Chain A
Amino acid sequence: MNWGTLYTQLTGVNRHSTSLGKIWLSVLFIFRVSVLVVAAETVWSDEQADFVCNTLQPGCENVCYDHFFPISHVRLWCLQLIFASTPPLLVAMYVAHRRHEDKRGILCASRSRAKQEEDLESLRKRRLPITGALWWVYAASLLFRLLFEAVFMYALYAIYDGVWLPRLVRCEEVPCPNEVDCFVSRPTEKTVFTVFMAAASGACMVLNVAELAYLVAKAATRGPARRGVRKGQADYAAKDKGLLQMMRNETLMASSSSVSSACKAV
Chain B
Amino acid sequence: MPITTVHVNRYYLEPRMNWASFYAVISGVNRHSTGIGRVWLSVLFIFRLLVLVVAAESVWGDEKAHFTCNTQQPGCNSVCYDHFFPISHIRLWALQLIMVSSPALLVAMHVAHRRHLDKKLYRRTGRGSPKELEQLKLQKMKITGALWWTYIISLLFRVLFESAFMYLFYRIYPGYKMFRLVKCDSYPCPNTVDCFVSRPTEKTVFTVFMLAVSGVCILLNITEVVFLVARATSQHLNNSKDSPLGAWITQKLFSY
Contacts and interface: CB of A to CB of B under 8 A. Distances in A.
**Chains A and B belong together in one complex:** yes
Contacts of A38: 15, 18-19, 94, 98
A188 B87 contact: yes
Contacts of A46: 64-65
B17 A26 contact: no
A185 B79 CA distance: 8
Contacts of A42: 11, 15, 90-91
Given A1-B14, A42-B11, A50-B64, A183 B95 contact: no
Contacts of B126: none
Interface in B9-46: 11, 14-15, 17-19, 21-22
Interface string B171-185: 000000000000000
Consensus secondary structure, chain A interface:
helix
Interface residues of B, number: 34
Interface string A3-26: 110010000000000010011001
Interface in A29-51: 30-31, 33-35, 37-39, 41-43, 45-46, 50
A72 interface: no
* Chain B, interface SS category: helix
A181 B64 CA distance: 20
B135 to A, nearest CB: 15
Contacts of B65: 46
A173 B99 CA distance: 43
B91 A30 contact: no
Given A26-B109, A54-B74, A189-B85, 4 more contacts: A35-B94, A38-B94, A42-B15, A42-B91
**Pairs A-B, 6 closest by C-beta atoms:** A183-B75, A188-B86, A183-B78, A54-B74, A37-B18, A39-B91
